[in-house]
Structure 1
Amino acid sequence: MSDTIPITPAGFRALRERYELLFTTERPRLVETISWAAGNGDRSENGDYIYGRKRLREVDRELSHLSRRMKAVTIVDPAQQANRSRAWFGATVTIVDEDARERTVTLVGEDEADATAGRISWRSPLARALRGAAVGDVRNVT
């Protein structure tokens, strides 16, 4: 799995929903605003036109990124993992530090990582240390 870019089904769904929102709602609204602003005359001092063009470039850039990302990822369903006794992609793990503080994390793809929600990237240092760990294993993370 080191050469693939894994993502959970929920993560892929979120990417697709973001793409569809931008493509079907945000972009057409911006094009309409830019068209309206262009019809108002002088474009050099037209804030709606200038901001609209800038925002349209940002949206197009994000659409391009999302499109490339959706083509590059491999959907891995954690529920279909054969070996559930060890921590692999999609596993939810409770870790305890040397001060006996517990923390629960889920190993997910890079696109869906959110440390505040307890979802850490599969390629993060902590996740790399946890890969393959079983209940009771001791792992050191620098």
Structure 2
Amino acid sequence: MEKFPMTQAGFDQLKEELRWRQQEERPRIIEAISEARAHGDLSENAEYHAAKEAQSHNEGRIGEVEDYIARAEVIDVAKLSGTTIKFGATVTLIDEDSEEERIYQIVGDQEADVKKGRISISSPIARALIGKSAGDTVEFNAPGGARSYEILGMRFI
């Protein structure tokens, strides 16, 4: 069984999503289905079909989240140290083309959010950064083309 690396914050977020889907969303959808059933003919009842579709989506996501939680390998980033970049590191980079500074934390696939500065361990940039140190330059192919960054620093927080 393959394990998924994940920070404690990402693990807690998944557990909260599971709780919400099971204890809040599931009862809301069941209520919507019974209301739609009360309207009569189900074959042409759009509300009923929409509620059943929402139920299917919710139950599928519950299964996914339960699987991720079961296979999570929670890594306490605060206990990590070293001078090379690895999972959990927060890396400060400078784009060699635009001179723009960027800060990214390398996290698990399920908790990645580029807008919040969290990149997936399996992303092209994270794979290029793993094992490197401050002062190194990394080049990688991103969806928008080849990119080059200089590593200014890294820390574990």
Common fold, TM-score beyond 0.5?
Answer: yes
Deviates further, 10-19 or 130-139: 130-139
> How many residues get paired?
139
Q: How much has 1:47 moved relative to structure 2?
A: 2.3
Q: Distance in 2 between matches of 1:58 and 1:73?
A: 22
**How much has 1:36 moved relative to structure 2?**
2.6
Structure 2 unaligned segments of length 5 or more: list them: 142-157
Q: Which amino acid aligns with 1:86?
A: T
Q: Deviation of residue 138 (structure 1)?
A: 2.3
Q: Is the CA contact (8 Å cut-off) linking 2:4 and 2:68 kept in structure 1?
A: no
Matches for 1:90-129 after TM superposition, within 5 Å: 90-99=88-97, 100-129=99-128
Which structure carries more strand by proportion?
Answer: 2
Q: Tell me, which stretches of 5 or more residues in structure 1 are unaligned?
A: none
CA distance in structure 2 between the aligned counterparts of 1:84 and 1:96, rounded to whole angstroms: 21
SS in 1 for 2:57: helix
1:67-106 equivalences in 2 (<5 Å): 67-81=66-80, 83-99=81-97, 100-106=99-105
Give the equivalent residue in structure 2 for 1:9: 8
Counterparts of 2:114 and 2:79 in 1: how far apart (Å)? 24
Q: How big is each residue's C-alpha offset from its partner over 1:97-134, in whole Å with a ceiling of 9 and x where there is no partner? A: 22332111110100011112211111111111111222
Equivalent-residue separation in structure 1 for 2:14 and 2:140 (angstroms): 31
Question: Aligned Cα RMSD in Å?
Answer: 1.5
Shift of 1:95: 1.0
C-alpha deviations, 1:56-100, integer Å up to 9, x for none?
11111111111111111211111111x332211111101112233
Aligned to 2:25: 26
Which has a greater percent of helix? 1
2:83·2:133 contact (CA, 8 Å) conserved in 1? yes
Query: Normalization by structure 1: what TM-score?
Result: 0.90
